[in-house]
Structure 1
Amino acid sequence: MSSSKSEATRERILFAAAEVLSRKGFSATRLGEIAAAADLRTPAIYYYFPSRHELISEVMAVGQSRLREHVTNALAELSPDVTPMDRICAAAAAHLEVELELSHFSTAVTRNTGQLPDDIHTRLRDDSRAYSALWRELIENAHEAGQIDDLDRRAAIKLVMGALNWTPEWWNRSQGSLADLVATAQSLIRHGLGPVPTPAPV
C-alpha cells in the first residue's frame, strides 16, 4: 500500500470515528460502526490503530491540535499593526472556520470530554493549556490597550470560548452563511468585551 493511500485511509478512519463519537458518545462507540462509516472491515482498523482506545484518543488529539494550529497560523499572518481587538476577532473567525469545517471532531470533543479516561485527558492537557494561553494573551493585550473594559477577564475567556465551542451543536449552513455567523460572533465580542461608551453630555 502506498504511503499516500495509507494516509488517506487513516484520515478516513479518523473522520469516521469522529462522526460516530459525535453521535454515540465515548461509551457507546464501537469499532464496527466506525469501520462501516469508513467503508472498511473492522480488522482493517487495527492496521492503523492498535485499539479502540487509541483511535478515540487520536480523534480527540487531532481535533484539538488542528483547531489550535489553524488559529495560531491565522494570527501569524496578520500585520503587526492590527489592533488587539481585531486580533481577537480574527482568532474567533479562524476558530469557527476550522471548528465547523471539522465539525464532527469538534462535536466529539465537546460531547465526550467529561467521559474520557484520565490518560486521554493527560494527552490533551498540554495542547488545551497552550490554546487557553493563546486566548489569555489576546484578552490581556486588548485590556492593556484599553480595548477591553475592566471586567473579569478569566470569566470573559471562558464565556467566549464556551460560545465558540458550542457552535457545532446548533449551527448548520441552512441557517445562513459562515461569513454571517463569523460577523455576528465578532460583533458580540467587540460590543461585549469593549469599553462601554461614555454618554455624551445632554
Structure 2
Amino acid sequence: MSSAREKILEAAKAAFSEKGFDGVSVEEIAQRAGVRKPLIYYYFPSKEVLFEEVWNRALEELENHIFKEVEGENYYVRKIKRFLRAYIDFVTSRTVLSKVIEKERASVLDESGEGIIWKRLRKRYDDFLNKVAQLIEEGKKNEMVNPDIDSHTAAKFITEALTATVSCGSVPQSIESLILGGLIRKNES
C-alpha cells in the first residue's frame, strides 16, 4: 500500500476527529498530509469515500481491540467485564479514532443521510452494534443477563455511554459498575 495513501488516511483521521466530516475540506486534508489535492482524488474519488475508509478502519480497530479481549473467556461475567474494560481502554488510549466515531455517529445514523456511501456507513456501524448485541444475547442464553433487556438497545446504550462519558472525563469504573448493575442478573454479580 502506498505511503502517500497512508499519509492521506492519517491526515484525514486527525482532521475528521478534530472537526468532523462537514468541518474539513479536502484541501485541508491535503495540507495536513503534505500532498497535493489531486493526489487525494487519485486514491479517493470523493471526500465521502475517504471518510468511509477512515470510518471502517476506526470500527475495525475498535472491534479487534474489544472482541480480541473476550476471546476464549468462558465465564460470562468476566467476559463482559473484560469487554467493558477493553472498550474503555480503546476510548482512552486511541482518542483520535474514538473521536472520529463519537463525532460522526449521529450523522452516520441519521436516516436522512443521502447516498450509497452513507448507507454503507450505517450498515457498518449496525454490524458493530449487532456484535455487541450478540454478546448480550449470549449472557441472556446463559441466564446471566436480565431476560427483559433488549440486546440491541443495550448495545447502543453501552457503546454511546462508554464513548461519551470517558471522553468527558468521567471515572471509567463507575461507568462499568453502572452498566454491569443494569445488565447482570442480581444473583450473578
TM-based fold match above 0.5: yes
Question: Normalised by the size of structure 1, how large is the TM-score?
Answer: 0.73
Which stretches in structure 1 are left out of the alignment for 5+ residues? 198-202
- For these two proteins, the number of residue pairs brought into alignment is 181
5+ unaligned residues in a row in structure 2: which ranges?
A: 109-113
The partner residue of 1:136 within 110, 133, 136 is: 133
Other-structure match for 2:90:
98
Q: What's the C-alpha RMSD, in Å, of the aligned pairs? A: 2.7
Conserved 8 A contact 1:148-1:194: yes
Q: CA deviation at 1:55?
A: 1.0
Alignment of 1:13-162 (within 5 A): 13-76=8-71, 78-79=72-73, 82-116=74-108, 117-154=114-151, 155-162=153-160
Deviation at 1:184, TM superposition (A): 4.0
**Is 1:163 equivalent to 2:157 in the alignment?**
no
Residues 94, 12 of structure 1: CA spacing in aligned structure 2 closer, same or farther, 3 A cutoff?
farther
Amino acid of the structure 1 residue aligned with 2:154: A
**Bigger-Rg structure (1/2):** 1
Runs of 4+ that moved beyond 4 A: none
User: By how many angstroms is 1:168 displaced?
Assistant: 5.9
TM-score normalised by structure 2 residue count? 0.77
Q: CA deviation at 1:164?
A: 1.9
CA 1:118–1:166 in 2, change beyond 3 Å: closer, same or farther? farther
Match of 1:195 among 169, 176, 185: 185
The equivalent residue for 1:200 is none
One-letter amino acid of the counterpart of residue 50, structure 2: L
Q: What is the percentage of aligned positions where both structures have the same residue?
A: 27
Q: Does 1:186 align with 2:176?
A: yes
For residues 40 and 99 of structure 1, do their structure 2 counterparts lie closer, same or farther at Cα, with a shift above 3 Å needed? farther
- The residue type paired with residue 90 of structure 1 is R
- Letter of the aligned partner of 2:26 in structure 1? L
Whether contact under 8 Å (1:14, 1:59) holds in the other structure is yes
